[in-house]
């Protein structure tokens, strides 16, 4: 399709501005010549209708959860309720300036405070930060907290244990937080090899990052023992919440020995993925780690006493000043009768991980979802996501050998390895699914020899009905037949999409990263 | 699928080969490795003059969906790099044992070669 | 439950197909010890209408921001967002999609990435652009890590007039990597008479030059800076490059790029930007969108996702994510960054916004911002209640006042204005300073009213 630049016509206008009443002020008087550009920047010139049609055409070339089944394993592509979008776009939220006086944003602060309380109960943790913008951002926050905790004890630690089945973000985040990575193997059941872990854990190891259920969709049944091994050596256990959907209302990470968790509000808590973000990677910790959280957090002040607040004027503390300010202000009276919520800054904080406080509009959507699900249905979410995944596995395992032939949690890992003999790769199976109108599952992840190869990771989520799953299953069975009888159909797939298989090698060898005409 | 394996070279478990010429070895990746990687789209230029230990990464090659460290099969000093492969990474796919070679290394200890596989052993190792 | 379609009957059928009598049989591997007993202690479910009532009610505890005109910026700017931008953001094919891992089903996302890469390359004068990072602050932190990798050096010199949140984020990100951070200019300007910069509220060149040594990886300058001041990037880049260090320019108010010379043309090596001004609402601080722009030669050290043009098997133009081997899912601990999800949805806003405004519109809006803010500054100084400073600024400026700021702020709120930022919120020494921000959402009448209110206050 044409780029917006290729639709540009000199002199065409897509905007309107109010009459300029500042004619007497010349730009040259405002901006020094060393900085003022002599030419306008070469952006496209198109009309409003051009822009609308351009994006409508682009939308048709995209596939979202509203288009159809999107069973990407580890991504939790569940339905994104429309009312949540509406609530996040309420005027008083949308136009709230982040540096406004706290008295003027009590509604926004209340949402953040309440959401934190709900997430505390759901995870079994004592305090959460809502600042991190994504799962990986949460991981960085969490691992920095681990680092700081040991530094504060006066005994810095340098290693982090990560299972071979972990998402790439785990080792990447740990490395960003300055840790050396130690990989622990998976055993024949798809779970952490406990003996290997026992051998690896030592007093220079900060702890372990564990996804549970793990990326093979299997519950780490030795979680209590894992926590014991880590804690015995003074380490901390980190919960990667990418797969929390399976445990909602069934297990709270805080009760299972985890010291830190990150949650992907754009997964379990239904906020849309937005073609790759924004999400929220909220991080929860147990009591002993609270003071290391990034600031600010939202606190509640009862009886007009702003407990633990920094300063009644809302000053942002410098790192050095935090400690003293906190003590001083502990009993300070707030200057407004109306203020109930206020920002507060942990004393030994790792520091900010971003500007301002978090992806607020995403927080509203997650909050709305939890209130809609309520105590009655929280567990139902997990149950149905698990039943859906096991149903798909049960019906497809004859055709696509599972990586591990046992019950799974919210996602199942099948493989395409039995079709190699027909010259078919898992990639071909995935591309063929597009012709049947489905988004393919996650492929080639997890990958660890010898169990998980040519993997197809399917996460249906609780949003999908049995009918949708049956249609998907029928398509997968049909593709299995095609692979044997007419493999060319798969290799040439997809046939019915906006573009067909793309030459990724060409893109990398002869990079074109912007329009140059 | 049959992968090309050349007699007279030494092979590593990480699918590098080394060809001995006097006290220097020429290093590249095997046919098996290039096939597994797929289209190689980038070859990092190794640092000439760098002292490197056996199994330490000399450079990285990238395909569309993978990145792979190319390790030194033996300890030594890097004495040359194949600029042809750096500028045209497709040589690794087209001619992994020839024009797609990667770097030359002055060998510290020829005894380390004994720990590597010959063509026959490598062929066994990569038999699918 | 409205979000869970399967019926009890279907659940039974499915359990049967799975080969179990009850759900419990599937999750036997979860030890009893770690299970939740009973239900979670969260409120009972709300119906859609109850939910709306509740959250709408909570929203009313905020003041009515929409009907108020902001005089505050400080890293978050209220510009007018054309309705088309909101329409585009509401397309479910965009907002309910995942990361474009399957290009055949993601051309809308990928082409938009490519278009934004083009827009931002043209605005910054750079070769390559990573279009989406979480925000400007985290993008800035990533560029510092990038400069450390590129130079193998572990010190940076940063202007104190970089946004305080950005400086703190840089500290957080680099703390594990032993980076020495030297802040220049601001303290000196306050407490010493030796101001070497041509203006106040501009980074002190001499101090900057003194702080750079052969361990320095990069100099980090924000322009327009935290006080709106327009730095002489060309001069600073000469200083940095003469000393053999890289120059990172932070751009928080990207609207300024509509009229200012491109950072790339002035010698910046890396730009770390925040693009909130291009079609994003304030949203109490997020989600916004960070970006990184740099030169071709630094491309392999970039964090984050980038789209490239290629062809499909029929030779038709197509876009894919490319240079992927830098990323965490391939490189794991050796990746250039851990970033995975970014703020991709906002790319649709940027693309729509910059396409609508185009070459002329962006220039005109930016020009209006600059001229209107200068108008307000002059008028406020004329009241005799403010002390002005002669320094070049874009759409934010700092004024000192001896007035009762508390009372002025209250009066402004009563008259429908969000008061300017009290600078001492970040810099306690600047007790009596206000940072005013003027964008196109304020008309000349609005500004005259502000002046009138200020003039009437003590």
DSSP character string of B40-79: EEEEPPP-TT-EE-TTSEEEEEEESS-EEEEE-SS-EEEE
Give C331's contacts in chain B (Cβ within 8 Å): 67
Q: What tens digit of pLDDT does each residue of C412-442 get? A: 999 999 999 999 999 888 889 999 999 999 9
**Residue A286: how many other CB atoms lie within 10 Å:** 18
Q: Residue C187: pLDDT above 60?
A: no
pLDDT at position A329 is 41
Domain membership of residue C183 (yes or no) is yes
Asked casually if ipTM beats, i.e. exceeds, 0.90, the reply is yes
| Cβ contact, residue pair A504, B64, below 8 Å | yes
| Cβ contact, residue pair C345, A500, below 8 Å | no
pLDDT at position C202 is 84
pLDDT at position A308 is 41
pLDDT at position A189 is 87
Give mean pLDDT, residues B56-84. 94
Cα(A218)–Cα(A240) distance, rounded to whole angstroms? 14
Domain membership of residue B107 (yes or no) is yes
Q: In what order do the strands lie in the sheet with C180-184?
A: C128-133, C290-294, C270-274, C246-251, C216-222, C155-159, C180-184
3-state secondary structure of A421: helix
Q: What tens digit of pLDDT does each residue of C395-418 get? A: 999 999 999 999 999 999 999 999
pLDDT at position A162 is 97
Residue C403 phi/psi, 5° resolution? -70, 165
Name the residue of chain C whose CA is nearest to A123's CA. C40
DSSP state at residue A491: H
Q: Is A199 on the interface with C (CB under 8 A)?
A: no
Q: Which domain holds residue C75?
A: 65-80+359-456
Give mean pLDDT, residues C148-171. 96
Residues C241 and C331 in one domain: yes
Domain membership of residue C3 (yes or no) is no
- The CATH number given to whatever domain includes residue C447 is 3.90.1150.10
* Distances from the Cα of C228 to the Cα of C75, C123, C126, C336, angstroms: 10, 19, 23, 32
CA angle C52, C54, C57 (to 5 degrees): 100
pLDDT at position C163 is 97
Domain membership of residue B123 (yes or no) is no
Do A217 and A385 touch, CB atoms closer than 8 A?
no
H helical segments located in A32-105: 48-60, 82-88, 91-94
Structure tokens at A183: 């990989």
Sign, CA torsion A356/A361/A367/A373: negative
Q: Which domain holds residue B70?
A: 10-115
Do C425 and C218 touch, CB atoms closer than 8 A?
no
Do C312 and A493 touch, CB atoms closer than 8 A?
no
Domain membership of residue C158 (yes or no) is yes
3-state secondary structure of C183: strand
pTM of the model: 0.95
**Residue B19: how many other CB atoms lie within 10 Å:** 16
Residues C91 and C151 in one domain: yes
Which residue is it, tokens 């206008």? Answer: A13
Q: How many domains does chain C have?
A: 3
pLDDT at position A303 is 42
DSSP H or E segment with residue A160: strand A159-163
pLDDT at position C184 is 87
Q: How many domains does chain B have?
A: 1
Q: Is A183 on the interface with C (CB under 8 A)?
A: no
- Tell me the shortest Cα–Cα distance from C321 to chain B, in angstroms: 10
Beta bridge partners of A448: A452
Q: Is B90 on the interface with A (CB under 8 A)?
A: yes
Do C34 and A251 touch, CB atoms closer than 8 A?
yes
Cα(A89)–Cα(A156) distance, rounded to whole angstroms? 45
Name the residue of chain A whose CA is nearest to B87's CA. A509
Domains of chain A: 4-59 (no CATH), 87-93+105-301+342-361 (3.40.640.10), 302-341 (no CATH), 376-504 (3.90.1150.10)
What rounded mean pLDDT belongs to chain C?
95
Domain membership of residue C278 (yes or no) is yes
- Report the candidate in A12, A30, A13 with the shortest Cα–Cα distance to residue C259: A30
Residues C271 and C341 in one domain: yes
Residues C349 and C427 in one domain: no
pLDDT per position in chain A (517 positions), as tens?
999 999 999 999 999 998 899 999 999 999 999 999 999 999 999 999 999 999 999 999 999 999 999 999 999 999 999 999 999 999 999 999 999 999 999 999 999 999 999 999 999 999 999 999 999 999 999 999 999 999 999 999 999 999 999 999 999 999 999 999 999 999 988 899 999 999 999 999 999 999 999 999 999 999 999 999 999 999 999 999 999 999 999 999 999 999 999 999 999 999 999 999 999 999 999 999 999 999 999 999 864 444 343 343 445 665 455 444 444 443 344 444 556 999 999 999 999 999 999 999 999 999 999 999 999 999 999 999 999 999 999 999 999 999 999 999 999 999 999 999 999 999 999 999 999 999 999 999 888 777 778 999 999 999 999 999 999 999 999 999 999 999 999 999 999 999 999 999 999 999 999 999 8
3-state secondary structure of C453: helix
Domain membership of residue C58 (yes or no) is no
Do A147 and A158 touch, CB atoms closer than 8 A?
no
Which residue is it, tokens 């032939």? Answer: A405
- Tell me the shortest Cα–Cα distance from C329 to chain B, in angstroms: 9
Domain membership of residue C70 (yes or no) is yes
- Report the candidate in A507, C304, C315 with the shortest Cα–Cα distance to residue B62: A507
- The CATH number given to whatever domain includes residue B15 is 2.40.50.100
Chains with at least 3 CB pairs less than 8 angstroms from chain A: B, C
Give C300's contacts in chain B (Cβ within 8 Å): 42
**Residue A330: how many other CB atoms lie within 10 Å:** 12
């Amino acid at each position: 399709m044409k780029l917006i630049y290729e639709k540009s016509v000199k002199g065409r206008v897509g905007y309107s501005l109010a009459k300029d009443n500042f004619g007497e002020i010349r730009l040259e008087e405002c901006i020094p010549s060393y900085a003022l550009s002599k030419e306008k920047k070469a952006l496209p010139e198109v009309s409003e209708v051009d822009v609308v049609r351009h994006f409508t055409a682009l939308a048709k070339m995209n596939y979202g959860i509203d288009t159809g089944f999107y069973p990407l394993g580890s991504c939790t592509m569940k339905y994104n309720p429309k009312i949540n979008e509406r609530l996040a776009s309420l005027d008083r939220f949308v136009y709230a300036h982040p540096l406004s006086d706290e008295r003027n944003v009590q509604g926004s602060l209340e949402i953040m405070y309440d959401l934190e309380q709900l997430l505390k109960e759901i995870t079994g943790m004592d305090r959460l930060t809502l600042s991190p913008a994504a799962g990986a951002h949460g991981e960085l926050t969490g691992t920095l907290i681990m680092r700081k905790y040991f530094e504060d004890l006066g005994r810095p630690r340098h290693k982090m244990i990560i299972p071979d089945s972990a998402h790439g973000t785990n080792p990447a985040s740990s490395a960003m937080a300055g840790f050396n990575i130690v990989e622990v193997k998976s055993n024949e059941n798809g779970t952490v090899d406990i003996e290997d872990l026992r051998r690896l854990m030592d007093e220079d190891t900060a702890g372990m990052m564990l996804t549970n259920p793990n990326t093979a969709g299997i519950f780490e049944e030795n979680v209590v023992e894992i926590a014991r091994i880590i804690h015995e050596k003074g380490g901390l256990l980190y919960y990667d919440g990418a797969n929390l959907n399976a445990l909602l209302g069934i297990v709270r990470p805080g009760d299972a020995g985890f010291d830190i968790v990150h949650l992907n509000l754009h997964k379990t808590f239904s906020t849309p993925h937005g073609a790759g973000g924004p999400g929220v990677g909220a991080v929860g910790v147990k009591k002993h780690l609270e003071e290391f959280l990034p600031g600010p957090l939202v606190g509640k002040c009862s009886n007009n006493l702003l407990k633990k607040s920094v300063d009644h004027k809302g000053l942002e503390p410098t790192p050095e000043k935090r400690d003293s300010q906190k003590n001083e202000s502990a009993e300070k009276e707030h200057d407004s009768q109306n203020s109930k919520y206020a920002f507060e800054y942990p004393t030994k904080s790792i520091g900010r991980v971003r500007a301002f406080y978090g992806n607020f509009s995403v927080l509203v959507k997650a909050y709305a979802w939890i209130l809609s699900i309520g105590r009655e249905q929280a567990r139902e979410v997990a149950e149905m996501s698990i039943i859906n995944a096991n149903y798909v596995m049960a019906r497809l395992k004859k055709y696509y050998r599972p990586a591990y032939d046992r019950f799974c949690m919210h996602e199942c890992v099948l493989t395409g390895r039995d079709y190699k003999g027909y010259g078919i790769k898992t990639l071909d199976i995935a591309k063929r699914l597009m012709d049947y109108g489905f988004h393919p599952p996650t492929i080639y992840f997890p990958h660890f020899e010898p169990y998980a190869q040519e993997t197809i990771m399917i996460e249906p989520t609780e949003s999908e009905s049995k009918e949708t799953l049956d249609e998907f299953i029928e398509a997968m069975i049909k593709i299995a037949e095609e692979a044997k009888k007419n493999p060319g159909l798969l290799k040439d797939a997809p046939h019915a999409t906006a573009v067909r298989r793309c030459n990724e090698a060409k893109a990398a060898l002869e990079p074109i990263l912007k329009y140059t005409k | 699928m049959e992968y090309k394996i050349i007699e007279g070279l030494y092979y590593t478990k990480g699918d590098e080969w080394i060809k001995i010429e006097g006290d220097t070895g020429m290093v590249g990746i095997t046919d098996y490795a290039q096939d597994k990687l797929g289209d190689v789209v980038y070859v990092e230029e190794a640092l000439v003059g760098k002292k490197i230990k056996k199994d330490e990464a000399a450079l990285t090659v990238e395909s569309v969906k993978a990145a792979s460290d190319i390790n030194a099969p033996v300890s030594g000093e890097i004495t040359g790099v194949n600029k042809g492969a750096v500028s045209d990474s497709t040589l690794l796919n087209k001619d992994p044992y020839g024009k797609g070679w990667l770097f030359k290394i002055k060998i510290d200890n020829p005894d380390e070669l004994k720990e590597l596989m010959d063509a026959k052993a490598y062929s066994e190792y990569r038999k699918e | 439950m409205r979000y869970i379609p399967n019926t009890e009957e279907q659940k039974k059928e499915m359990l049967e197909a799975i080969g179990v009598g009850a759900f419990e049989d599937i999750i036997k591997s979860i030890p009893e010890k770690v299970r939740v007993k009973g239900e979670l202690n969260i409120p009972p479910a709300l119906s859609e209408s109850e939910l709306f009532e509740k959250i709408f009610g909570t929203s009313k505890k905020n003041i009515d921001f929409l009907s108020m005109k902001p005089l505050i910026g400080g890293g978050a700017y209220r510009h007018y967002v054309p309705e088309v931008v909101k329409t585009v953001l509401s397309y479910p094919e965009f907002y309910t999609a995942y990361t474009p891992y399957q290009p055949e089903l993601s051309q809308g996302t990928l082409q938009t990435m490519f278009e934004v890469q083009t827009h931002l390359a043209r605005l910054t004068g750079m070769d390559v652009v990573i279009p989406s990072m979480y925000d400007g602050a985290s993008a800035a932190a990533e560029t510092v890590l990038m400069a450390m990798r590129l130079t193998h050096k572990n010190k940076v010199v940063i202007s104190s007039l970089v946004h305080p949140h950005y400086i703190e984020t840089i500290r957080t990100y680099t703390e594990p990597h032993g980076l020495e951070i030297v802040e220049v200019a601001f303290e000196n300007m306050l407490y010493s008479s030796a101001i070497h910069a041509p203006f106040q509220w501009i980074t002190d060149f001499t101090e900057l030059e003194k702080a750079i040594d052969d361990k320095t990886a990069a100099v980090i300058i924000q322009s327009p800076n935290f006080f709106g001041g327009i730095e002489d990037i060309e001069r600073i880049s000469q200083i940095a490059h003469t000393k053999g260090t890289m120059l990172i320019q932070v751009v928080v108010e990207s609207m300024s790029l509509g009229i200012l010379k491109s950072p790339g043309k002035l010698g910046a090596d890396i730009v770390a930007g925040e693009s909130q001004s291009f079609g994003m609402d304030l949203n109490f601080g997020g989600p916004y969108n960070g970006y990184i722009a740099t030169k071709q030669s630094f491309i392999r050290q970039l964090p984050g996702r980038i789209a490239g043009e290629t062809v499909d098997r029929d030779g038709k133009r197509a876009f894919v994510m490319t240079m992927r081997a830098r990323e965490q899912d391939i490189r794991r601990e050796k990746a250039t960054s851990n970033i995975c999800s970014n703020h991709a949805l906002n790319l649709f806003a940027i693309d729509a916004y910059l396409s609508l405004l185009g070459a002329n519109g962006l220039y005109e809006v930016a020009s209006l911002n600059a001229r209107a803010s200068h108008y307000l500054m002059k008028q406020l100084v004329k009241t005799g209640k403010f002390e002005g400073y002669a320094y070049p600024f874009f759409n934010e400026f700092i004024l000192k006042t001896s007035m009762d700021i508390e009372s002025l702020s209250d009066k402004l709120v009563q008259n429908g204005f969000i008061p300017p930022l009290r600078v001492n919120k970040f810099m306690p020494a600047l007790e009596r300073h206000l940072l005013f921000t003027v964008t196109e959402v304020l008309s000349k009448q609005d500004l005259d009213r502000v002046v009138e209110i200020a003039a009437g206050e003590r």
